[in-house]
Structure 1
Amino acid sequence: MALSALQLAQLALHGAAFLCGIICASALTVTQGQFGGHCMLYGEVRPNGSTLMLAADSPASLCYFVSAVAVVAALAAFSALLHGIYSCCVDDGLCRDRTWLGVALAASAFILFFLMVAACILEVGTNALCRSVLQMKLVRSCRDAQNRAWEAADSSRFYDNLYSAKATAWVNFFFWGLLLAVLLLQRRQDAPFRLLSRRDPEWSAETEAIIGGRGPRH
């Protein structure tokens, strides 16, 4: 069964959004686990002899919130992907269901808002952590702090993981924005009617039926 360009774009975007959500949640969860469950976002780093230590951290619920948003967005994208494959390959009528389009539009807008919040938390929280690291003037960059010994923590790739989580969160936000635009285009194409213009032949037929045709000129 041939699929339209909008349907193919929708399936591709849902698949990409699913992968971004999984990568974001996994990267943040791994980093949190390396530091004993502490949330490093907005954290404060202090030297402790020859090692570094996380002197202050954010509530663990903050990282849980960001991870939960990423997971929910990934599950929603995966569910929509399965629905799209089924509806387009098994029952084409479901592809044109305006009720489903309305629900998908509302869900996409809802997810898009929370993805923006989660991405902003990751962006600002990671930058705050890196500013604290650079204030010590012990390393040239935040990435270099991965090579230093940390107290009671496995610091390997912590910055790379946070950067991956932040980048995929913004990419995911972009994908869901495109999804919202595709759904709006699909809803517009599937509109049950459109207003007639004076150039349409139906316009003349309708107006003549209502007000009557013009009489012959003398």
Structure 2
Amino acid sequence: MAQLSGRLLVELALSAAAFLCGIICASALTVTQGEFGGHCILYSSVLYNGTLWLSSSSPVSLCYFVSAVSILTSAVSFGILIHGIYNCCFGDGQPDHTWVKGSLALTAIILFFLMVSGCILRVGMDTLCNSIQKAAAATSCQEAQHRPWVQPYHAERFYDNLYTAEAAAWVNFFFWCLMAVLLFLEYFNRAPARPFPGSGLTWNEETAPIFGEGPPKP
């Protein structure tokens, strides 16, 4: 079994945390859809005449998109976690250069979709809450949770669930940013040595004080 380094432990911890965040985000959003009969209430409009009801709702594909992004990022996080554990148990504990390069490209794609998902949740919640306030149904979304809604809606925790989904999405984005930084440093640390013009030093010799000594030579 390879000796666990601090960097590898951090990567494994971030992968596990990102996996949990993705599951929480998808679960919270799915529960909210179920409470509203399968409707996606992001960007929805609300009317009030003694009871609250949705006058319009977003296409369900919008909520499905956010949930799909969360589930896929969780699957990738779980795959990275399993790969890291396998590499620790049966490898040298160090990812090869090709794996790091591919992981960097994948991380950039995931960060983009997580950012889009977080923005959808944030703006969608603001639109819903503004509609509730405009209808004079409640002064806030938190208060609207305690107002009567038409059947068969069960809106006792809709804001809490949406807030949880958004928070999980942005925390997940932060974790993937940290993983991107670690992969970026690892990529340059394990890059093939190349001399600096006129310095007489190779890339690894120049960057060793910053990124470490790099992989051991055979």
Q: Secondary structure at the match of 2:44?
A: strand
For 2:92 and 2:46, how far apart are their aligned partners in 1?
Answer: 56
Alpha-carbon distance change, 201 to 45 in structure 1, aligned in 2, over 3 angstroms = closer
Alpha-carbon distance change, 110 to 199 in structure 1, aligned in 2, over 3 angstroms = closer
Matched, 1:103 2:99: no
Alpha-carbon distance change, 150 to 185 in structure 1, aligned in 2, over 3 angstroms = same
- Aligned residue for 1:205? none
AA of the residue aligned to 1:37: G
How does 1:1-218 map onto structure 2 within 5 Å? 1-48=2-49, 50-92=50-92, 95-152=94-151, 153-196=153-196
Kindly indicate whether the alpha-carbon contact (under 8 Å) linking 1:53 and 1:151 is maintained by their aligned counterparts in 2.
Answer: yes
Shift of 1:130: 0.4
AA of the residue aligned to 1:134: Q
Kindly indicate whether the alpha-carbon contact (under 8 Å) linking 2:52 and 2:137 is maintained by their aligned counterparts in 1.
Answer: no
For 2:35 and 2:145, how far apart are their aligned partners in 1?
Answer: 12
Kindly indicate whether the alpha-carbon contact (under 8 Å) linking 2:36 and 2:154 is maintained by their aligned counterparts in 1.
Answer: yes
Note the alpha carbon deviations across 1:88-133, whole angstroms, 9 max, x for none.
221116x331111111111111111111111100000001000001
Q: Secondary structure at the match of 2:48?
A: strand
For 1:16 and 1:195, how far apart are their aligned partners in 2?
Answer: 39
Structure 2 length normalisation: TM-score? 0.87
| Count of aligned positions | 200
For 1:21 and 1:98, how far apart are their aligned partners in 2?
Answer: 27
For 1:184 and 1:201, how far apart are their aligned partners in 2?
Answer: 22
For 2:70 and 2:126, how far apart are their aligned partners in 1?
Answer: 20
For 1:33 and 1:100, how far apart are their aligned partners in 2?
Answer: 40
Kindly indicate whether the alpha-carbon contact (under 8 Å) linking 1:73 and 1:111 is maintained by their aligned counterparts in 2.
Answer: yes
Kindly indicate whether the alpha-carbon contact (under 8 Å) linking 1:6 and 1:186 is maintained by their aligned counterparts in 2.
Answer: no
AA of the residue aligned to 1:27: A
Q: Give the gaps of 5 or more residues in structure 2.
A: 203-218
Kindly indicate whether the alpha-carbon contact (under 8 Å) linking 2:195 and 2:201 is maintained by their aligned counterparts in 1.
Answer: no
Kindly indicate whether the alpha-carbon contact (under 8 Å) linking 2:21 and 2:172 is maintained by their aligned counterparts in 1.
Answer: yes
- Aligned residue for 1:208? none
Q: Secondary structure at the match of 2:75?
A: helix
- Of structures 1 and 2, the larger Rg is shown by 1
Kindly indicate whether the alpha-carbon contact (under 8 Å) linking 2:52 and 2:147 is maintained by their aligned counterparts in 1.
Answer: yes
AA of the residue aligned to 1:114: F
Which range moved further: 189-198 or 147-156? 189-198
Shift of 1:197: 7.5
Shift of 1:192: 2.3
Amino-acid identity (%) = 54
AA of the residue aligned to 1:145: A
Q: Give the gaps of 5 or more residues in structure 1.
A: 203-218
